[in-house]
Amino acid sequence: MLKFTPVLLAVLYALVMYRFSTWRTARELDARSQPLNDPILKALTADMARALDLPEIHVRIYEIDPVNGLAAPDGRIFITRGFYRKFQQGEVTGAELASVIAHELGHVALGHSRRRMIDFSGQNALRTALAMVFSRFLPGIGMVLANTLTSLLAARLSRRDEYEADAYASALLIKSGIGTGPQKSLFAKLDALTQSPGGSTPAWLLSHPRTHERVKAIETNEANWSPR
């Protein structure tokens, strides 16, 4: 039993740190956000709400400059001020921004926040176990190797969540009458919008799939969903 104590402590530590992180994130979002009241975007979210048989979809603006959307662990949906500014400047259409909201709704509906807590705890336990084993045979680099392997696993799991949220968004956008066109056109703009050069990091190290791979997955889903 004693030899498993470090692993059990790693799981406990991961759970405590995850809870603390979600609490801190919620406080930050509460302090630095406000409701999104744009009439164009509210009309689009109303279309999605009807498709989901919901009275309304609440979206908030997170007052930071980076271009991003996020789903908080408590289920709230946020668009950053930087992203909303791109819409105001005409660089992003309302439908494209709606596709981001649909994607974040997918993370909520598919329980990715809860799954990430489980994944994070498991990865921390795996890292500790691997470090214990590797350090016996590779003193000095065992922890480095364990960190590298668990980071690769975390990136792969994150990419899986992104593909799932993309598929959910595609289905919702189609059902809402918006279609997947804005979802795909936004991906064509994404690297420029986020000022990401792309191509410098191996795809299997990225927490998000390559944009062209995401578009390909969307088109594959469309083909599979089309009536035969």
Mean pLDDT on 142-157: 66
- Cα-Cα-Cα-Cα torsion 103, 224, 206, 204, nearest 10 degrees, comes to 160
Give the pLDDT confidence score for residue 83 in this predicted structure.
Answer: 96
Give the pLDDT confidence score for residue 157 in this predicted structure.
Answer: 74
Q: Provide the pLDDT confidence category of residue 25 given band limits of 50, 70 and 90.
A: confident
Give the pLDDT confidence score for residue 120 in this predicted structure.
Answer: 57
Is the pLDDT at 215 greater than 60, yes or no?
yes
Give the pLDDT confidence score for residue 216 in this predicted structure.
Answer: 95
Q: Comparing 117 with 64, which gets the higher pLDDT?
A: 64
Give the pLDDT confidence score for residue 2 in this predicted structure.
Answer: 46
Give the pLDDT confidence score for residue 142 in this predicted structure.
Answer: 58
Sequence letter at residue 178: I
Cα(52)–Cα(168) distance, integer angstroms: 12
Give the pLDDT confidence score for residue 193 in this predicted structure.
Answer: 79
Q: Provide the pLDDT confidence category of residue 150 given band limits of 50, 70 and 90.
A: low
Residue 26, exposed/middle/buried by CB under 10 A (0-12, 13-18, 19+)?
middle
Give the pLDDT confidence score for residue 197 in this predicted structure.
Answer: 47
Inter-residue contact 129 to 142 (CB < 8 Å): no
**What are the residue boundaries of the structural domains of the chain, listed by start?**
2-225
Give the pLDDT confidence score for residue 29 in this predicted structure.
Answer: 85
Give the pLDDT confidence score for residue 195 in this predicted structure.
Answer: 62
Mean pLDDT on 116-130: 58
3-state helix, strand, coil in the chain (%, to 5): 70, 5, 25
Cα(75)–Cα(160) distance, integer angstroms: 19
Q: Comparing 68 with 139, which gets the higher pLDDT?
A: 68
Give the pLDDT confidence score for residue 169 in this predicted structure.
Answer: 98
Is the pLDDT at 121 greater than 60, yes or no?
no
Structure tokens, 100: 């981001």
- The contacts of residue 190 (CB under 8 Å, 6+ apart) are 196, 211
* 34 membership: H or E segment, kind and range: strand 33-35
The whole-model pTM stands at 0.76
In 3D, which of 199, 124, 115 has the Cα closest to residue 157? Answer: 115
